Amino acid sequence: MKRIQKLAHSLIGVEGCLIEEPEDLFYLTGLSLSLGRLWVSPNEARLFVDGRYFAKAKQQAPCPVSLNTDFKEAMQQVKRASFDSAFVTYDRFITLKNDFPHIEWVPVPNPVKNLRLIKDAGETESLRKAAQLTWKGYQHILKHLKEGIAESELALEFEIFCRKNGASGLSFQPIVAFGENSAYPHYRAGAAKLQKNQIVLIDVGAVVDRYHGDMTRVHFFGKPDPRLAHFFHLVHTAQKKAVDHVRTAFV
């Protein structure tokens, strides 16, 4: 409820805010909803869902819950309301105007963004778990590096390991690239097979409690090309200096 209260306190010039973006709904209510509406005003908050989610929401939501069919009646006295203009489509906006011609709809992009920027202790712990599982998955697939293995095999091995160890999904499709393929940004693991003395690029992430891990590493399988090893050393040194500087500046 604290998150909803913070959103209510951030409202300026409107009677309330309509939240429909699923990730924001989860952040504010703790419920995974493919479809729902959260009306937040300085005096109240109410979640509107359809029959699929009603029983669960009544039990778990931090605010009163009603069916979507009650939404129109609940908005009859509202004159000025904001909505998430970064999420609501134009068609949806027109529907809101037609359904509630008495309301002035004020576009506010990402109204929950500033709240979500600062992570609480629970979020920090989820991020830590996601990062740790991502790291363990990376170390796991390093053990499977051998001549003849395909990029797609390693990508699948990473996903299987993470899901078996608590991940609800992946942050993105794993990037595993051998040799020249490692030069392509956002490459997708394919049928290329690992050869001796090739560079291996691995960019992966595991999702834990809806929070995403993300890491990129370069591994040399065999003897590295001297030029590539030199560039790797330069980047690694620059990265270390940057991290050390940040730690010094904020400690």
Structure tokens that stand for 230 in this block: 């030199």
Domain enclosing residue 196, as ranges: 121-250
Q: What is the pLDDT of residue 1?
A: 78
Report the relative pairing of strands 211-212 and 169-170 from DSSP bridges: unpaired
Mean pLDDT, rounded, of the chain: 95
CATH number of the domain bearing residue 112: 3.40.350.10
- CA dihedral 25→31→34→39, nearest 10 degrees, is -40
DSSP-assigned states of every residue in 107-122: EESSTTHHHHHS--HH
Q: Give tens-digit pLDDT for 192-224.
A: 999 999 999 999 999 999 999 999 999 999 998
User: Does residue 129 share a domain with residue 96?
Assistant: no
User: Does residue 42 share a domain with residue 81?
Assistant: yes
Q: Give tens-digit pLDDT for 148-178.
A: 999 999 999 999 999 999 999 999 999 999 9
User: Does residue 154 share a domain with residue 109?
Assistant: no
What distance in Å separates the CA atoms of residue 55 and residue 2, rounded to the nearest whole number?
Answer: 23
Structure tokens that stand for 218 in this block: 């370069």
Look at residues 117, 148, 180 and tell me which one is the last residue of a structural domain. Answer: 117
Residue 221 DSSP SS3: strand
Q: Give tens-digit pLDDT for 101-144.
A: 999 999 999 999 999 999 999 999 999 999 999 999 999 999 99
User: Does residue 147 share a domain with residue 47?
Assistant: no
Look at residues 102, 117, 132 and tell me which one is the last residue of a structural domain. Answer: 117
User: Does residue 131 share a domain with residue 41?
Assistant: no
Query: Helices (DSSP H) in 21-84: which residue ranges?
Result: 22-29, 54-60, 71-74
User: Does residue 147 share a domain with residue 63?
Assistant: no
Let me know how long the chain is.
251
Number of domain units in the chain: 2
Strand ranges (DSSP E) for the chain? 16-19, 37-40, 45-49, 65-67, 80-84, 104-108, 169-170, 175-178, 198-204, 206-208, 211-212, 215-221
Helix axes 22-29, 2-9, angle to 10 degrees: 120
- Predicted confidence band at 185 (pLDDT cuts at 50, 70, 90)? confident
